[in-house]
């Protein structure tokens, strides 16, 4: 089955760029009908969708994060990545990658990666 695994630094300094990668196994990232997504969860809080990208380049972003956000898909390595710039302590969260099924108006996230905690602190 499809599995996703996040990787990247667990500590980022304020004003720097948070960079994470999600490795996909069990299926090709170019399989049709899917977007590759990032979702975060602040400590003790609910889920917040960050954005996602299709291997063709089509993308969607959380309007509140769009100006700081880059999500890219690397088809040669079957992985996708997140870059969030100018981070502050408010960006401290567990970051999940997930596959979003998207076709004929339906959308759902499945599966999810295990999540990785990123702390923004000097």
Partner 1 sequence: QSVLTQPPSASGTPGQRVTISCSGSRSNIGSNPVNWYQQFPGAAPKLLIYTNDQRPSGVPDRFSGSKSGTSASLAISGLQSEDEADYYCAAWDDSLNGHVVFGGGTKLTVL
Write out the residues near partner 1 by the rule CB under 8 A.
Answer: 37, 46-49, 51, 60-63, 96, 100-101, 105-115
Least distance (Å) between residue 94 CB and partner 1: 9
Structure tokens at 35: 């977007």
Nearer to partner 1 by C-beta: 16 or 62? 62
- 87 vs 15: CA distance, rounded Å: 5
Nearer to partner 1, 81 or 116 (CB): 116
Q: How far is the CB of 78 from partner 1 (least distance, A)?
A: 20
In the complex, least distance from residue 92 CB atom to partner 1, rounded to whole angstroms: 17
Distances (CA, A) of 42 to 4, 39, 49, 54, 110: 20, 10, 11, 25, 20
Nearer to partner 1, 76 or 108 (CB): 108
């Amino acid at each position: 089955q499809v599995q996703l695994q996040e990787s990247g630094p667990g500590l980022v300094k304020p004003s720097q760029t948070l960079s994470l990668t999600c490795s996909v196994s069990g299926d090709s990232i170019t399989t049709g009908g899917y977007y590759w997504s990032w979702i975060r969860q602040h400590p003790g809080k609910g889920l917040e969708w960050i954005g996602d990208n299709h291997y063709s380049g089509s993308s969607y972003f959380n309007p509140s994060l769009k100006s700081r956000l880059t999500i890219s898909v690397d088809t040669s390595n079957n992985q996708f990545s997140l870059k969030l710039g100018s981070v502050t302590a408010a960006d401290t969260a567990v970051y999940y990658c997930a596959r979003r099924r998207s076709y004929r108006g339906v959308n759902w996230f499945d599966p999810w990666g295990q999540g990785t905690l990123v702390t923004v602190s000097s």
